[in-house]
Amino acid sequence: MATIHQIITREGIDQARHKAATKHERALVEAAYQVLTEDAEKIGFTYSGFALTSLPHKPHTDLVWRREGHNLTLLIESGRDRAGKPIGLPYGSYARFILLFLQSEAVRTGSREIELGRSMRVWLGSMGLSIGGTTYRLVTEQAKRISHCRLQFFMDRAGAEVMRHGGFVDGTISMSDLGDQQSLWNDRVLLNEEFYRALRDHPVPVSTSALRAIGPRSMVIDVYIWLAYRLHALTSDVAVSWPALHSQFGSGFQLMRKFRAHFIECLDLALAAYPDANVSVGERGITLHPSRPAISRV
C-alpha cells in the first residue's frame, strides 16, 4: 500500500478499496482519498515545540509529564481545583484538536484573544468530533485540563528556558450545558502570553484536510506534525534511529518491537495524509528525505 496515492489517482477509489486487504490498509485508502479529493487547501498552525515533543496519549496517573525531543524538553504539570485535588494532565486526540484550534486562530488573527462561540464547535465538527453525548463530556474534560495545567519548555543548549511556568491559556475554556448550540462555549479566551509569543515566532503550518483525514488518532497526529515540521526544511537525507523515535513517540511502550510495529502503522497513516512526504523505513530506523511542504503557506 506504499503507492496508495498513485493507485487512487491511476485506477480510481473503487479499485484501491478493492485492493485493501486489511483494516489498516482500508484506513490508509480512506485517509489518502479524503486528502486527494479535498476541494480547497486549508491551513492550520501549531507551535514547533509540539513537533518535537507531545502530550500524553492516554490518561496519565502522574502529576507531571516529561517528554524529550530534538534539543527540547517539555514539562507539563497538572493543575488543581479549589479543594486542592489534581485535575489531571491533558491527553489524547481531543486535547490536541482543542489546542490546534486555539493556535490556528491565534496565528490567523494575529491576536492571543481567541473568539470561541460557534466557531470552535464547527471546527471540532469538521475534524469529525460531533459535540454531543460522550464526545461532549470528553471534550469538556480536556478543555478543563488544558485550562489548568502548567507547562515549561527547555532548550538543551545550556538548559535555557523557552517558556517558564506558563500555561496554554489565561482563564478557563469552559462549556455551558444549556440546550443552545450557539452558546456552548464561552465568548473568548486568552492564550498565555509566553505561549502565544513562542507560537507566533515558531509556527508550523499544517493541513486541516490532513488532520481531518487522520481523525482521532493521537500518535498519528503527532507523527504528521513532526513530518510537517522536519521534511520541507531538509537539504539532505536524515536518518532517525528507533531509540530516538521511541524517546519522542514511545510513551507507554516498554518493548521496542511493539513500539516499532505501532509506529510504522501510525507513520503509514501520516504519510497517507501527507502525499508529498518522502520517508523510508529500515532495520535501524527511518530515513527522512527532502520533501515538499505539507501545505503551501499562504
My answer on whether 101 and 178 are in the same domain is: yes
Q: Is 134 a member of any domain?
A: yes
My answer on whether 97 and 130 are in the same domain is: yes
My answer on whether 12 and 100 are in the same domain is: no
Q: Is 76 a member of any domain?
A: yes
My answer on whether 90 and 4 are in the same domain is: no
Tell whether the torsion through CA atoms of 276, 280, 281 and 287 is positive or negative.
negative
Question: Has residue 182 got a pLDDT over 60?
Answer: no
My answer on whether 132 and 15 are in the same domain is: no
pLDDT band at 164 (very low <50, low <70, confident <90, very high): low
pLDDT at 208: 92
pLDDT tens for each residue of 229-243: 999 999 999 999 999
pLDDT at 289: 97
My answer on whether 152 and 22 are in the same domain is: no
Q: Is 98 a member of any domain?
A: yes
Question: Has residue 55 got a pLDDT over 80?
Answer: yes
Choose one of 203, 238, 255: the last residue of a domain. Answer: 203
Distances (CA, A) of 107 to 2, 26, 110: 34, 35, 5
- Average pLDDT over every residue of 121-137: 77
Q: Is 6 a member of any domain?
A: yes
pLDDT at 209: 92
My answer on whether 54 and 183 are in the same domain is: yes
Question: Has residue 104 got a pLDDT over 60?
Answer: yes
Choose one of 157, 177, 203: the last residue of a domain. Answer: 203
* 155 in Cβ contact with 71 (< 8 Å): yes
Using CA atoms, how far apart are residues 281 and 294, in angstroms rounded to an integer?
19
Identify which has the larger pLDDT, 158 or 170: 170
Give this prediction's pTM. Answer: 0.90
My answer on whether 130 and 190 are in the same domain is: yes
- Average pLDDT over every residue of 170-187: 59
Q: How many domains does the chain have?
A: 2
pLDDT at 75: 92
My answer on whether 19 and 131 are in the same domain is: no
Question: Has residue 251 got a pLDDT over 50?
Answer: yes
Identify which has the larger pLDDT, 90 or 157: 90
Domain carrying residue 99: 45-203
My answer on whether 79 and 56 are in the same domain is: yes
Q: Of 22-31, 59-68, 157-166, 279-288, which range is least confident?
A: 157-166
pLDDT band at 120 (very low <50, low <70, confident <90, very high): confident
Q: Is 62 a member of any domain?
A: yes
The percentage of the chain sitting over the pLDDT mark of 70, rounded to a whole number, equals: 90
